[in-house]
């Protein structure tokens, strides 16, 4: 709890992380927040932008290879923002990589995911990977909320370790509409466009 | 009177002023409510509420002493620089100079004040900071818009760190017989510059007709500047007893502060507009960002500082 409070405070001082509820309200509905990914602070910034009550039942999804180590990063990820780990490398996967995410949604926990799978170097996101599609089709009850993180690629670009203080806003868009029988590619393009539209 | 007594009297006066302002704001709110309220009056009340907070923070910090006051301005500088950098379109190649500005240049500048090292304080950013920033910007190898990018950073650093740091640097001036009470010079600067802004706003809203610079800062009017400026000079003269000045000298000093502060507001408003924004940020409710509150200080502080050093130091 104390660590979470410190992290939120630090993020506020460094990058503000002001929430802008453009297309939806902060409600306790079951949600999958999906956002553009440009820096290591993205997870924390999006998580901090949520009201405390929602934060407690929203799990950021983090890459196991980066965040789940034993050191400071692992400690921050598990104790600080209660991350769910996902295996990025296919050869290390023993089970369906999305299984822990399914379980969390089934327990009523919302998720924060970065569908690009890795950080991009510019303001607009790279093409989305298919994880979001599978989660969305398996959980029709969840609202899909596009989120755009502004400015963070300037604060802590890929390859750097010290954040530059900048005011960053976190824009929450309108829930992505569900289209019957939409194929994977079309869905992923539409989802990415929803994030781009918030930029 | 001792520093302590002057400080308490002054804070009592400011507190009374805020009570009166809050009452007026409340009455205006009640009168406007039946007509569906007014955005101007809501903004006025938000500004007054923010003033209570700002005065409380400054009063408590100054009670803690010199170091606390220096740290407070260091933090304010950091927020102002953050706002400046946010509006400036920095690129990947500016990362290193930005890190240097926030984590080295800014803390060193304020440490130099705490250390009382005037000679280095005065040249640290204009010489070493100025030369080091473009060098670090070359590391990335990105030469697109190089001059424009480096200049924007240098400019932001000069305004938000160097110029604003002149306010706490007033603690270093050596006016004979007044050194122990230097904190009051800082209070004098803040009271005059901020009341000048407030009075110009009030006079402008009540009587303003002729815009001074409609494209740069539409809210600045001749009537507001003259009425507000004269009020602030009168208040400054009335505060001579907290300063080492005679009433006439205090009035002249207040006039210097008012004019420099006004020009600062004007110039920074043009910068803000060229960056495509109306406010520097949203930190302070009703006022905008930190730099919206400190724009006039950033011009008034260095001028006030050097005028004192020229005329009052032996």
pLDDT in tens, A117-166: 888 888 889 999 999 999 999 999 999 999 999 988 899 888 888 999 99
Average pLDDT over residues B237-259: 97
pLDDT value at position B160?
98
Question: Residue A82: left (phi > 0), alpha (psi -120 to 50), or beta?
Answer: left
* Contact at CB, A157 and B99, closer than 8 angstroms: no
What residues are paired with A19 via a beta bridge?
A170
User: Per the structure block, which two tokens stand in for B70?
Assistant: 């220096």
> What is the H or E stretch that residue A17 is in?
strand A16-21
Average pLDDT over residues B227-231: 97
Measured between beta carbons, the chain B residues lying within 8 angstroms of A11 are: none
pLDDT value at position B69?
96
pLDDT value at position A194?
96
Averaged pLDDT score across all residues of chain B: 94
pLDDT value at position B185?
96
Chain A: nearest CA to B52, how far in angstroms? 22
* Contact at CB, A166 and B85, closer than 8 angstroms: yes
**CATH superfamily assigned to domain A2-197:** Glycerol-3-phosphate (1)-acyltransferase (3.40.1130.10)
Averaged pLDDT score across all residues of chain A: 90
CA distance linking residue B189 with residue B170, whole number of Å: 9
CA distance linking residue A34 with residue B187, whole number of Å: 49
* Contact at CB, B90 and A18, closer than 8 angstroms: no
| Helix, strand or coil, per DSSP, at residue A13 | helix
Average pLDDT over residues A194-198: 95
Average pLDDT over residues B4-24: 94
CB A84 within 8 A of CB A61: yes
pLDDT bucket at B83, cuts 50 / 70 / 90: very high
Rounded to two decimals, the ipTM of the complex is 0.85
C-alpha dihedral (B36, B37, B38, B42), degrees to nearest 10: -150
All structural domains of chain B with their residue ranges: 1-63, 64-312
Tokens 């109306």 — which residue? B278
All structural domains of chain A with their residue ranges: 2-197
Q: Which residues contact B26 (CB under 8 A, 6 or more apart)?
A: B45
Average pLDDT over residues B259-288: 91
Measured between beta carbons, the chain A residues lying within 8 angstroms of B281 are: 167
pLDDT for residue A34 is more than 90:
yes
pLDDT value at position A120?
83
- Our measurement of the distance from residue B91's CA atom to the centroid of its chain's CA atoms, rounded to an integer in Å, reads 28
CB B84 within 8 A of CB B151: no
Q: How far apart are the first and last CA of chain A?
A: 33
Q: What percent of chain B has pLDDT over 90?
A: 84
pLDDT for residue B134 is more than 90:
yes
User: Per the structure block, which two tokens stand in for B308?
Assistant: 């004192």
CA distance linking residue B298 with residue A165, whole number of Å: 20
Q: Tell me the pLDDT tens digit for each residue of B281-299.
A: 888 888 889 999 999 999 9
């Amino acid at each position: 709890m104390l660590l979470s409070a410190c992290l939120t405070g630090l993020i506020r001082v460094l990058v503000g992380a002001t929430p802008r509820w453009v297309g939806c309200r902060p409600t306790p509905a079951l949600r999958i927040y999906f956002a553009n990914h440009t820096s290591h602070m993205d997870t924390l910034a999006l998580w901090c932008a949520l009201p405390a009550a929602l934060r407690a039942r929203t799990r950021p999804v983090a890459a196991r290879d980066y965040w789940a180590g034993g050191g400071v990063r692992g400690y921050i990820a598990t104790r600080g923002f209660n991350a769910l780990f996902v295996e990025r490398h296919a050869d290390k996967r023993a089970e369906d990589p999305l299984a822990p995410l399914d379980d969390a949604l089934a327990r009523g926990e919302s998720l924060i995911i970065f569908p690009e799978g890795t950080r991009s170097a510019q303001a607009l996101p790279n093409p989305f990977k298919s994880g979001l599609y599978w989660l969305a089709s398996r959980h029709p009850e969840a609202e899909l909320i596009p989120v755009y993180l502004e400015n963070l690629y300037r604060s802590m670009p890929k390859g750097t370790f010290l954040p530059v203080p900048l005011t960053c806003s976190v824009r929450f868009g309108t829930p992505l509409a569900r289209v019957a029988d939409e194929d994977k590619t079309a869905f992923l393009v539409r989802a990415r466009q929803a994030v781009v539209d918030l930029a | 009177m001792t520093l302590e007594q002057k400080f308490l009297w002054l804070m009592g006066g400011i507190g009374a002023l805020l009570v009166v302002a809050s009452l007026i704001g409340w009455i205006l709110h009640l009168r406007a409510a039946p007509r569906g309220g007014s955005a101007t009056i809501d903004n006025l009340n938000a500004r007054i509420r923010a003033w209570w907070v700002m005065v409380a923070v400054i009063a408590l910090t100054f009670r803690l002493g010199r170091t606390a006051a220096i740290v407070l301005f260091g933090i304010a500088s950091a927020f102002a620089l953050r706002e400046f950098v946010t509006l400036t379109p920095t690129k990947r190649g500016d990362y290193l100079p930005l890190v240097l500005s926030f984590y080295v240049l800014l803390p060193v500048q304020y440490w130099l004040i705490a250390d009382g090292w005037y000679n280095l304080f005065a040249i640290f950013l204009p010489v070493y900071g100025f030369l080091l920033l473009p060098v670090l910007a070359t590391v990335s190898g990105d030469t697109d818009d190089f001059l424009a990018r480096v200049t924007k950073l240098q400019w932001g650093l000069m305004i938000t760190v160097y110029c604003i740091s002149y306010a706490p640097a007033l603690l270093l001036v050596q006016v004979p017989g007044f050194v122990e009470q230097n904190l009051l010079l800082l209070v004098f600067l803040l009271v005059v510059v901020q009341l000048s802004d407030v009075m110009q706003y009030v006079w402008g809203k009540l009587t303003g007709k002729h815009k001074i610079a409609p494209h740069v800062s539409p809210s600045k009017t001749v009537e507001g500047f003259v009425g507000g400026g004269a009020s602030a000079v009168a208040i400054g003269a009335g505060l001579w007893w907290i300063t080492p000045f005679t009433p006439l000298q205090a009035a002249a000093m207040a006039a210097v502060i008012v004019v420099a502060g006004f020009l600062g507001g004007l110039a920074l408003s043009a910068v803000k507009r060229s960056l495509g924004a109306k406010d520097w940020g949203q930190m302070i409710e009703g006022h905008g960002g930190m730099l919206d509150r400190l724009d006039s200080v950033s011009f008034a502080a260095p001028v006030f500082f050097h005028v004192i050093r020229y005329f009052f130091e032996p």
